[in-house]
């Protein structure tokens, strides 16, 4: 995967960049993403909400009830304003990183379309940024795209967006975009560097997909028996994964391991 520039863009340009042509067949995006929505709780790392965007308009077509608990807006307001107000979504992102986040989302969509055209596994994208909570205070959040709908032209016409609250994790200090390329057994990490505005491949420990699953559950606060039950593996196997992770990351405790995970954006 080659390094890419992340160019800051304003909200109007962003809408023009992500807008796609409408597919020939009319697709119910809520129905299309229903399985991912059903398992959203397993995917999230904390309190979260999801919403679905139709890039052919662009607009928001649906959102979870938790949207109203974690943002200063109602679901109805989101759906109505996203169709007419290009600044509505952007205004919920901290102004210092707003345009770079929009640029990062645009890059995520373009990268997804490239991988889709090459018939490769779509990377997982993690965008860390400050967003408004229900009290209109900016807090750290994690934005992810669990699933993307591609139309007949191979364009990202719809996307399920998940936003998890990270305010309970005190280690995040700067915005970041991470791409997790899981096409191989081990995950590859590409981190957005603010200084150069580039995606850089990072030299992090060789963490397997299973170890990454264990990491996510540790961050969510699950203990060893709960992780074993969640992943359908034995208590002993979980303990082995934890030991291997501590050795790979140089961590002595679970708290140090969580610090390493969040600091390096490995969620």
Please identify, in words, the CATH class of the domain defined by 11-201: alpha beta
Tens of pLDDT, residue by residue over 83-130, are: 888 899 999 999 988 998 998 899 899 999 999 998 888 888 888 899
- 212-230 average pLDDT score: 87
- Beginning with the edge strand found earlier in the chain, give each strand of the sheet holding 198-201 in spatial order: 59-63, 48-54, 156-165, 138-150, 124-132, 176-181, 188-193, 198-201
Domain ranges of the chain: 11-201, 209-263
Query: Who has greater pLDDT, 169 or 224?
Result: 224
Element (H, E) at 255: helix 254-263
Tell me the pTM.
Answer: 0.79
Q: Is the pLDDT of residue 29 over 90?
A: yes
Which CATH number does the domain 209-263 belong to among 3.50.50.60, 3.40.50.300, 3.30.70.980, 1.10.10.10? Answer: 1.10.10.10
pLDDT digits (tens, 9 = 90+) for 119-174: 888 888 888 899 999 999 999 999 999 999 999 899 999 999 999 998 877 666 77
Q: How far is CA 175 from CA 36, 79, 241, 260, in A?
A: 26, 27, 29, 16
């Amino acid at each position: 995967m080659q390094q890419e520039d992340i160019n800051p863009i304003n909200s109007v340009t962003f809408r023009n960049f992500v807008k796609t042509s409408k597919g020939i067949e009319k697709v119910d995006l809520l129905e299309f993403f229903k399985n991912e929505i059903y398992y959203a709780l397993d995917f999230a790392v904390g309190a979260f909400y999801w919403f679905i965007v139709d890039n052919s308009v662009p607009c928001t077509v649906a959102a979870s009830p938790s949207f109203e608990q974690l943002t200063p807006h109602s679901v109805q307001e989101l759906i109505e304003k996203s169709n007419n107000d290009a600044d509505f979504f952007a205004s919920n992102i901290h102004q210092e990183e707003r345009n770079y986040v929009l640029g990062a989302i645009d890059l995520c969509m373009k990268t997804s379309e490239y991988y889709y055209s090459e018939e490769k596994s779509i990377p997982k994208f993690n965008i860390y940024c400050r967003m408004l909570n229900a009290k209109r205070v900016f807090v750290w959040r994690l934005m992810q795209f669990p699933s993307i709908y591609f139309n007949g032209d191979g364009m990202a016409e719809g996307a399920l967006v998940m936003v998890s609250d990270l305010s309970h994790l005190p280690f995040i200090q700067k915005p970041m975009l991470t791409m997790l390329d899981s096409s191989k057994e081990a995950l590859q990490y590409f981190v957005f560097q603010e200084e150069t505005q580039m995606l850089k491949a990072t030299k992090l420990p060789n963490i397997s997909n299973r170890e990454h699953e264990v990491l996510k559950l540790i961050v969510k606060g699950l203990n060893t028996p709960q992780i074993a039950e969640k992943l359908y593996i034995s208590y002993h196997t979980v303990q082995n994964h934890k030991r291997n992770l501590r050795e790979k990351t140089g961590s002595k405790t679970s708290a140090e391991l969580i610090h390493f995970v969040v600091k390096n954006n490995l969620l």
